[in-house]
């Protein structure tokens, strides 16, 4: 099996996190709607949803489709170029751990400073992944000149 397929595992883990957060958001909203006797029309706009006081779960879900998109794109590029280095895999797993930590903090006690540290960690790890890839692509390009 080609080693680049190892990159799928952190991707699966991050996708799984998105489903966990979506499930929690759905569950929280259903409980809140039942407790406060809301109708489905409350979901027409984000302003209406604020009445449910569940923007925290929605914000966490939205976060999983912002910076992580760059993670997914990088994995696709690594696989298309057939570049495999253990350093990428280690950094990918570190990124996933940082995103899980961020989501855990965001969806539980939500202390902003702790959430910020988790976000900044994931930010720098993702930056390191892209920097490593950029340097590798430059080096590969120079070999073909």
Domain assignments of the chain as residue spans, ordered by start: 3-143
State pTM to two decimals.
0.86
Cα torsion 104, 109, 112, 121 to 10°: value is: -20
Helix (H, G, I), strand (E, B), or coil: what is residue 64?
coil
DSSP single-letter state for residue 100? H
- 83-124 pLDDT tens trace: 999 999 999 999 999 999 999 999 889 999 999 999 999 999
Query: Measured between alpha carbons, how far apart are the two ends of the chain, in Å?
Result: 31
- The CATH code of domain 3-143 reads 1.20.120
Give the separation between CA 77 and CA 65, rounded to whole angstroms. Answer: 18
Low-confidence ranges of the chain (pLDDT < 70): 1, 39, 42-54, 144-145
Contact 106, 28 (CB under 8 A): no
């Amino acid at each position: 099996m080609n080693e680049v397929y190892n990159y799928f595992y952190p991707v699966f883990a991050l996708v799984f996190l998105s489903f966990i957060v979506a499930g929690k958001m759905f569950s929280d909203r259903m409980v809140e709607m039942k407790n406060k006797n809301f109708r489905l029309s409350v979901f027409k706009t984000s302003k209406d949803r604020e009445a449910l006081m569940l923007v925290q779960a929605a914000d966490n879900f939205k976060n999983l489709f912002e910076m992580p998109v760059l993670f997914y794109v990088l994995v696709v590029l690594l696989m298309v170029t057939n570049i495999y280095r253990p350093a990428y895999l280690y950094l990918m797993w570190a990124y996933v751990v940082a995103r899980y930590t961020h989501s855990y903090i965001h969806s539980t006690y939500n202390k902003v400073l702790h959430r910020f540290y988790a976000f900044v960690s994931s930010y720098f790890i993702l930056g390191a992944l892209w920097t490593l890839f950029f340097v590798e692509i430059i080096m590969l390009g120079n070999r073909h000149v």
